[in-house]
């Protein structure tokens, strides 16, 4: 269903509600199954209705499970996730997420390496990640992936499972030098 068709369908059903026992429930389910978050859980939905927002008069879908009502975006049913400008870099960063998290968790002294602040700490690559990625590409003789799976849970692309991903993770673990920086110091470092 395209955005124009869905907008028309919503306008026709504005103010109407539907439950799972009514005859027109399959049409409602067809729309709800397109939603990235609620689509896989459409079987949990027992009621649905189209309402106008009090804030900006936009149409919203409201759905109910056995527990409570939720307001969801109908636009999410028709719009695909925005492609990232540099999917390979984003995918490579995503592939080392657990190494970054592990570094953060094992630090005994949780303070900025530059100003010793203890709030808004971020993990920083001493050798910039862009440089590490370029070095890795130069050293590896494996074909670089061109398509990257989209992970809805993290809303990011990642490297496909396989040798390229595994070798990148090993390379990063061996050559990356990490430090904790507070947000202002990290932004200042990135800008210079």
pLDDT at 155: 65
What is the pLDDT at residue 46?
84
Signed CA dihedral, 30, 32, 36, 39: sign only: negative
* C-alpha–C-alpha distance, residues 161 and 113, integer Å: 34
Same domain, 66 and 132: no
Q: Are residues 153 and 109 in the same domain?
A: yes
- Regarding whether 109 and 33 lie in a shared domain, the answer is no
What's the total number of domains in the chain? Answer: 2
Extract the tokens encoding 171.
Answer: 């390379």
Residues of the chain falling short of pLDDT 50? 84
67 and 140 together in one domain: no
Q: 125 and 72, same structural domain?
A: no
- Residues 97, 131 within the same domain: yes
* pLDDT reported for residue 52: 83
Among 43, 77, 111, identify where a domain stops.
77
d(CA 62, CA 69): 7
Query: Residue 84 has what pLDDT?
Result: 46
Is position 82 within any domain? no
Are 91 and 136 in a shared domain? Answer: yes
Which of 20, 49, 77 is the endpoint of a domain? 77
Q: Which domain holds residue 60?
A: 3-77
What is the token pair recorded at 101? 């998290």
- The tens digit of pLDDT for each residue in 22-61 reads 677 787 777 777 777 777 777 788 888 888 877 777 788 8
Q: Tell me, yes or no, whether 128 lies in a domain.
A: yes
Please check whether residues 57 and 152 belong to one and the same domain. Answer: no
Answer yes or no: are the C-beta atoms of 71 and 61 closer than 8 Å.
yes
Extended beta strands in 9-133, E state:
17-19, 47-52, 59-64, 69-72, 121-125
């Amino acid at each position: 269903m395209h955005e124009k068709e869905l907008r028309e369908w919503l306008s026709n059903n504005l103010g109407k509600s539907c439950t799972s026992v009514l005859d027109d429930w399959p049409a409602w389910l067809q729309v709800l199954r397109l939603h990235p978050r609620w689509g896989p859980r459409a079987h949990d939905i027992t009621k649905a209705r189209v309402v106008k927002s009090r804030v900006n008069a936009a149409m919203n879908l409201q759905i109910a499970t056995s527990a409570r009502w939720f307001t969801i975006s109908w636009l999410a049913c028709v719009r695909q996730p925005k492609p990232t400008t540099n999917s390979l870099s984003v995918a490579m960063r995503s592939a080392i997420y657990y190494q970054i998290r592990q570094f953060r968790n094992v630090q005994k002294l949780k303070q900025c390496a530059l100003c010793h602040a203890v709030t808004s700490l971020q993990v920083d690559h001493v050798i910039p990640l862009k440089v590490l990625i370029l070095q890795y590409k130069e050293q590896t003789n494996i074909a670089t992936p061109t398509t990257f799976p989209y992970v809805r849970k993290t809303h990011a692309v990642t490297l496909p499972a396989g040798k390229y991903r595994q070798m990148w993770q090993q390379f990063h673990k061996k050559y990356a030098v990490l430090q904790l920086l507070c947000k202002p110091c990290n932004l200042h470092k990135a800008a210079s």
